[in-house]
């Protein structure tokens, strides 16, 4: 027994002296709590120094079922809003749907119902997301309201059901006479098709739908000066963006239905989400600070370096939202990948999946040896130091909790760590 204890102590000592643990002892910042109402926020102050002048902060998640991570992110978002001036949260949810949701949140509609119009239910129906949404709604009557926007091309909630009437009202209102009957009819048919399952247009029909949408946009651009006498330019650009999303969504839905090319399908969505994020940053919310709420696999850039799925895919062909946005926005973006050492995860209404403990030598195991329940690890600050451990290749598992060996400092700016993850559940 004494021999076994001696071996265990030797292994622990070796782990404590590893380059990973040595670097993390100096650089991993403990976060005290996930309680969004905690008044002492001194533990979050290091985030301010790490983020610096970045005006787009992405905070990803490993699986869409990371309940404890949702609580932690909610507290950080409140801090970013109140202390650092981030006034927009852009969700991996429908651009149009989230605009409808904001109208509902400004009304006296019950929170559950209002959320059902916008964000995907994996967040809108999650108990652990509720504290953040309660906080966000509470700001809407203040001098610094927190705007909840969407960057996805898809319809994500009940708001999508209002899209047809929204398009009709614009064509028959501020854009009256700007679009010919053929283009209008084509747009209407493309919308109807999306809401009549099964969605399986022929390639020729898809091309006709996309051509009609493109024609409507071209005709409106030609008469933009006249249209914007009747509606402000911001509303005009939002309408055009939603029509463009409709065209891409039509192609995306067909690829989803056929399932023939998962990489092309994923790339089409990520390309458009990246373009939408750049549009939000440079146009719709120009000058404002934005936090992105999405999956790690969408947020990370340079994803060709590692497989972002739990099963083998052709990672060399993968394009992420982060790739597209980072190319345009550069270091004005700060990307945080969430991860966990142990526990379980599940989307709402789904059975929990137990996590194997992080393997020895992995980032999560190394942070776990420090005893932190939650931690923030900045990678950007050490990027210029070639000798820093953080700039080497190491194992981490931010993508669906599958261990991956990669040079993570080229793909993200920080890690957000949870020691024991609990699944997302219904309220």
pLDDT at 315 over 70: no
SS3 assignment, position 259: coil
Q: What is the pLDDT of residues 131-182, one digit of tens each?
A: 999 999 999 999 999 999 999 999 999 999 999 999 999 999 999 999 999 9
pLDDT at 8 over 50: no
SS3 assignment, position 374: strand
Of 9-18, 31-40, 296-305, 313-322, least confident by mean pLDDT is 9-18
Nearest-5° Cα angle at 202, 200 to 205: 110
Short-list 208, 218, 217, CA closest to 245 = 217
pLDDT at 16 over 50: yes
Instruction: Measure the CA–CA gap between 86 and 84, rounded to whole angstroms.
Output: 6
Contact at 8 Å (CB) between 27 and 377?
A: yes
Nearest-5° Cα angle at 284, 44 to 112: 65
Strands 333-345 and 414-421: parallel
* Helical spans, DSSP H, in 228-337: 233-258, 262-279, 296-299, 321-329
**Averaged pLDDT for residues 118-141:** 98
DSSP 376-396: EEE-GGGTT-TTSGGGS-EEE
Burial class (CB in 10 A: 0-12, 13-18, 19+), 175: buried
Short-list 115, 122, 119, CA closest to 61 = 122
Which band of pLDDT confidence, cut at 50, 70 and 90, is reported for residue 309?
low
All CATH 3.40.1660.10 domain ranges of the chain, comma separated, are 18-155+273-421
SS3 assignment, position 30: strand
Of 12-21, 225-234, 251-260, 380-389, least confident by mean pLDDT is 12-21
Question: Which pair of structure tokens corresponds to residue 306?
Answer: 């590692």
SS3 assignment, position 400: coil
> What pLDDT score was predicted for residue 2?
37
| pTM, full prediction | 0.94
Nearest-5° Cα angle at 386, 382 to 392: 85
Strands 56-59 and 333-345: parallel
pLDDT at 413 over 60: yes
pLDDT at 9 over 80: no
> What pLDDT score was predicted for residue 66?
98
Instruction: Measure the CA–CA gap between 217 and 234, rounded to whole angstroms.
Output: 15
Type and span of the H or E element at 15:
helix 2-16
Contact at 8 Å (CB) between 413 and 379?
A: yes
Of 8-22, 41-55, 322-336, least confident by mean pLDDT is 8-22
> What pLDDT score was predicted for residue 7?
33
CATH of span 18-155+273-421 = 3.40.1660.10
> What pLDDT score was predicted for residue 10?
34
- Which residues contact residue 96 at a Cβ distance below 8 angstroms, ignoring those fewer than 6 apart? 150, 155, 159, 160, 163, 166, 242, 245
Cβ neighbours of 325 (radius 10 Å)? 29
**Distance, C-alpha 155 to centroid of its chain:** 15
Short-list 108, 38, 109, 52, CA closest to 84 = 52
Backbone angles phi, psi at 373, to 5 degrees: -75, -40
> What pLDDT score was predicted for residue 85?
98
pLDDT at 6 over 60: no
Short-list 177, 156, 152, 182, CA closest to 244 = 152
Look-up of token digits 């509470």: 138
Instruction: Measure the CA–CA gap between 174 and 240, rounded to whole angstroms.
Output: 13
Instruction: Measure the CA–CA gap between 324 and 345, rounded to whole angstroms.
Output: 29
* Helical spans, DSSP H, in 259-376: 262-279, 296-299, 321-329, 363-368
385-to-52, 389, 390, 391 alpha-carbon distances in Å: 18, 9, 9, 8
Per the prediction, the chain carries an average pLDDT of 94
Cβ neighbours of 352 (radius 10 Å)? 16
């Amino acid at each position: 027994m004494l021999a076994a204890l001696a071996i265990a102590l030797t292994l622990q000592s070796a782990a404590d002296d590893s380059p990973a643990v040595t670097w993390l002892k100096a650089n991993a910042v403990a976060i005290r709590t996930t309680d969004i109402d905690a008044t002492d926020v001194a533990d979050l102050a290091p985030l301010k120094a790490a983020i610096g002048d970045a005006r787009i902060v992405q905070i990803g998640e490993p699986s869409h079922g990371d309940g404890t991570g949702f609580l932690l992110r909610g507290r950080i978002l409140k801090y970013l809003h109140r202390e650092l001036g981030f006034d927009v949260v852009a969700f991996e949810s429908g651009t149009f749907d989230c605009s409808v949701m904001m109208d509902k949140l400004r009304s006296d509609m019950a929170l559950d119902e209002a959320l059902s119009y916008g964000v995907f239910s994996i967040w809108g129906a999650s108990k652990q997301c509720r504290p953040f949404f309660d906080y966000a709604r509470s700001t809407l009557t203040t001098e610094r309201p927190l705007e909840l926007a969407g960057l996805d091309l898809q319809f994500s909630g009940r708001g999508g059901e209002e899209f047809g009437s929204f398009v009709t009202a614009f064509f028959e209102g501020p854009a009256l006479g700007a679009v010919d009957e053929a283009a209008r009819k084509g747009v209407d048919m493309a919308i109807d098709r999306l809401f009549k399952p099964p969605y399986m247009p022929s390639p020729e029909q898809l091309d006709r739908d996309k051509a009609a949408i493109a024609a409507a946009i071209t005709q409106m651009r030609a008469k933009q000066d006249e249209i914007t006498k009747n509606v402000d330019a911001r509303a005009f650009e939002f309408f055009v963006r939603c029509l463009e999303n409709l065209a891409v969504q039509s192609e995306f839905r067909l690829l989803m239905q056929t399932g023939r090319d998962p990489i092309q399908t994923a790339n089409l969505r990520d390309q458009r989400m990246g373009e939408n994020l750049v549009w939000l940053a440079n146009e719709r919310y120009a000058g404002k600070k934005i936090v992105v709420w999405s999956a790690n696999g969408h947020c990370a850039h340079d994803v060709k370096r590692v497989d972002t799925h739990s099963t083998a895919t052709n990672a060399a062909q993968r394009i992420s939202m982060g790739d597209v946005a980072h190319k345009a926005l550069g270091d004005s973006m700060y990307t945080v990948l969430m991860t966990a050492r142990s526990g379980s995860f599940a989307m709402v209404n789904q059975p929990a999946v137990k996590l194997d403990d992080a393997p020895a030598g992995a980032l999560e195991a190394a942070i776990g040896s420090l005893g932190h329940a939650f931690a923030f690890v900045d990678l950007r600050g050490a990027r210029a130091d070639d000798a820093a451990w953080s700039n080497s290749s190491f194992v981490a598992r931010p993508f669906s909790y599958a261990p991956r060996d990669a040079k993570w400092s080229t793909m993200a700016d920080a890690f957000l760590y949870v020691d024991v993850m609990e699944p997302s559940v219904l309220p």
